[in-house]
Amino acid sequence: MKAFHLLLFHGSFIFPECILIFGLIFLLMIDSTYDQKDRPWFYFISSTSLVMSITTLFF
């Protein structure tokens, strides 16, 4: 468990990809349970996860 913790948070490139994957899973769960066709806030969620991923990649 300690090796996974070190791999994920201390200078690894896996963390930005995890942010994107969790954002995608979150969007898929919302999309499967929500019936309304007009969902402009989906763009906000996806762009927010992309910006967070890019930000963590730089730092």
pLDDT in tens, 31-45: 888 777 767 778 888
For residue 5, the model assigns a pLDDT of 57
CA distance 41 to 22: 17
DSSP secondary structure of the chain? -HHHHHHHHSS-SHHHHHHHHHHHHHHHHHHHH---S--THHHHHHHHHHHHHHHHHH-
pLDDT in tens, 10-27: 656 788 899 999 999 998
Better pLDDT: 5 or 31: 31
Are the beta carbons of 42 and 35 closer than 8 angstroms?
A: no
- Write down the number of H helices and E strands in the chain: 3, 0
Better pLDDT: 2 or 54: 54
